[in-house]
Structure 1
Amino acid sequence: MVFPQLIPFASSSSSILQNPSRLNPNKFPYPFNSNPKLLFHPVVRCHLLFRRRRKPVSLRCSASSFSEKHHTNSPKSDDLVELPLFPLPLVLFPGAILPLQIFEFRYRIMMHTLLQTDLRFGVIYTDAVSGTADVGCVGEVVKHERLVDDRFFLICKGQERFRVVNIVRTKPYLVAQVTWLEDKPSANGEEDLDGLANEVETYMKDVIRLSNRLGGKPEKEVGDLRRNLFPTPFSFFVGSTFEGAPREQQALLELVDTAARLKREKETLRNTLNYLSAASAVKDVFPSS
């Protein structure tokens, strides 16, 4: 049986570039998936259309990446700084791990510059339909390997979110002025963020359980998905698991209200769970389908 994609809210990404065709997604290096667990728990492996990619041979990193570190000593939201941008057909969230191979000439130039500065660049979502978004996430190089042919293998970790204000230049690579983006207190100050986060975790566990059942895997207790994370970083972790729905991920990244993000994720997971429940019922009636 073929598993469905997530069933998200309808969403659209904004575009800051008037001519997105200048940024050809087919030209950009695609990320390596060094370990599916780094990007998602069994929900992605069993439930989303998961692209297979080659693995970086000599780099390894830990899946325990969603710490509180990126929420401390963050730049002020009104700071205006220049940041090299790396448009990719994916969405990076704060705290997430992103393996990359750098092979195109202009991005090799960017890497040589970064290695002499602070090893930080902006990852921003782009596709042929919606163009290039104006909200992205800083990727910090935590491990790298330079090969003899001047290619690079990188392990990056998501840090602060940013919003593009002005394009400074497009050659040899994209550089923009950005401001930092942080979550603001909910309009309804009475929101129970911990309660919302717990509900989202429960839906995730149910989706994993049903996905395993439909995939013919043994049903077993799903472990702790939240791992003591506070609601905001947990909401970013959940968003990072929706790897097969990048436009939905972009909409989640752009939200500046933790409660709104958790509610949207809960609705997406609930819709997905309803679909899986129906598919499971059909399988019970027609086991050979």
Structure 2
Amino acid sequence: MALPQLLHSPSSSSLTPKHCLNPHSLNPSPSSLSLNPSILSRRRRRNPNFLRCSASSGGSPKSDDVLELPLFPLPLVLFPGAILPLQIFEFRYRMMMHTLLQTDLRFGVIYADSTTGTADVGCVGEVVKHERLVDDRFFLICKGQERFRVTNLVRTKPYLVAEVAWLEDRPSGDGAEDLDALSSEVESYMKDVIRLSNRLNGKPEKEVQELRRNLFPTPFSFFVGSTFEGAPREQQALLELEDTAMRLKREKETLKNTLNYLTAASAVKDVFPTA
């Protein structure tokens, strides 16, 4: 679900998700997948140039763990818990996929564009479904897992491999921050934005279903950020924040600005119905 007409930083790009690098793309809507979130656990390196992941190894990743991870730069931002469809067409990334299928199905998705370059913070994408075609292209459905920060570039060819450290949200500086109340405010703004957008687009007005779906504040903040399609730089800024309260407050402000814009547009439409 993407929120319409998001008002964000003026520097935000108009790039939209679901595009691969250079720019071979796959644009289907992600299928409805019932996936249980998996957690990256602390792992040993079996190959010095690759992150070897094992869902059964037990334990949560530590922020001071440094491991090697193959990277896939894309003009989009992947959030933990989000679903991302991709087409792997370029030869070097087909090579990467062949290696991943033999070792592990996780790689780093990291935002890159011609203006800002390649970001330092990204999100691990786990391949949950894949199809290999006769011409050796791959269709993938990936799910966002842990965030990471690049600490050192190991190699650039045939594809990027970097040392990464896990990134986790830290407790807010204000211990009295009510994250549940803040999450409820953000959800309320989201519902208002969706409702007003549907009205402007001539869609039937109906009650917006629960958006939070019992998510805790941190994963909910990632879900909200994933809906800000068309604003990848704003999404990147949200991904890099290490404070759930700060992320929710920034999302609340963005949604509030968007709601104000849609309210004004709705008023104009009421006065000039054919405008």
TM-score when normalising by structure 2: 0.86
- 8 Å contact from structure 1 (residues 6, 272) kept in 2: yes
Corresponding position of 2:271: 285
Quick check: 1:185 aligned with 2:171? yes
- 8 Å contact from structure 2 (residues 65, 165) kept in 1: yes
Deviation of the 1:11 alpha carbon: 6.7
Query: CA 1:268/1:106 → structure 2, altered by over 3 Å: closer, same or farther?
Result: same
Corresponding position of 2:5: 5
Corresponding position of 2:67: 81
Give the whole-Å Cα distance in 1 for the aligned partners of 2:161 and 2:23.
15
In the alignment, structure 2 segments of 5+ residues that lack a partner are: 14-19, 42-58
Counterpart code for 2:208: V
Deviation of the 1:211 alpha carbon: 0.2
Report Cα offsets for 1:173-217 as digits up to 9, x if no partner.
000000000000000010000001000000000000110010011
- 8 Å contact from structure 1 (residues 235, 262) kept in 2: yes
Quick check: 1:198 aligned with 2:192? no
- 8 Å contact from structure 1 (residues 68, 233) kept in 2: no
Deviation of the 1:78 alpha carbon: 0.3
1:27 is paired with a residue of what secondary structure?
coil
Give the whole-Å Cα distance in 2 for the aligned partners of 1:268 and 1:27.
30
Counterpart code for 2:28: S
Report Cα offsets for 1:119-160 as digits up to 9, x if no partner.
110000000111100000000011111111111111110000
- 8 Å contact from structure 2 (residues 88, 139) kept in 1: yes
Give the whole-Å Cα distance in 2 for the aligned partners of 1:190 and 1:168.
42
Give the whole-Å Cα distance in 2 for the aligned partners of 1:173 and 1:68.
27
Q: Among 101, 113, 117, which residue is 2:87 paired with?
A: 101
Quick check: 1:267 aligned with 2:253? yes
Deviation of the 1:26 alpha carbon: 5.5
1:221 is paired with a residue of what secondary structure?
coil
Counterpart code for 1:164: V
Give the paired residue count.
250
Corresponding position of 1:221: 207
Query: CA 1:33/1:165 → structure 2, altered by over 3 Å: closer, same or farther?
Result: same
Give the whole-Å Cα distance in 2 for the aligned partners of 1:4 and 1:160.
27
Corresponding position of 1:34: 28
Q: Among 113, 127, 130, which residue is 2:113 paired with?
A: 127
The percentage of aligned residue pairs carrying the same residue is 78
In the alignment, structure 1 segments of 5+ residues that lack a partner are: 14-24, 39-59
Deviation of the 1:10 alpha carbon: 5.8
TM-score when normalising by structure 1: 0.82
Query: CA 1:119/1:231 → structure 2, altered by over 3 Å: closer, same or farther?
Result: same
Corresponding position of 1:171: 157
Give the whole-Å Cα distance in 1 for the aligned partners of 2:211 and 2:200.
21
Corresponding position of 1:207: 193
Counterpart code for 2:95: I
Query: CA 1:69/1:8 → structure 2, altered by over 3 Å: closer, same or farther?
Result: same
Counterpart code for 1:88: L
Give the whole-Å Cα distance in 2 for the aligned partners of 1:6 and 1:12.
11
1:207 is paired with a residue of what secondary structure?
helix
Quick check: 1:91 aligned with 2:77? yes
Corresponding position of 2:234: 248
Give the whole-Å Cα distance in 1 for the aligned partners of 2:126 and 2:260.
38
Query: CA 1:106/1:164 → structure 2, altered by over 3 Å: closer, same or farther?
Result: same
Q: How much is the aligned-residue C-alpha RMSD, in angstroms?
A: 2.1
Deviation of the 1:61 alpha carbon: 4.3
Q: Among 116, 133, 138, which residue is 2:124 paired with?
A: 138
Counterpart code for 2:8: P
Corresponding position of 2:140: 154
2:204 is paired with a residue of what secondary structure?
coil
2:103 is paired with a residue of what secondary structure?
coil
Deviation of the 1:5 alpha carbon: 3.1
Report Cα offsets for 1:27-65 as digits up to 9, x if no partner.
2543x3432xx5xxxxxxxxxxxxxxxxxxxxx442x56
Deviation of the 1:69 alpha carbon: 4.3
Deviation of the 1:70 alpha carbon: 3.9
Counterpart code for 2:141: I
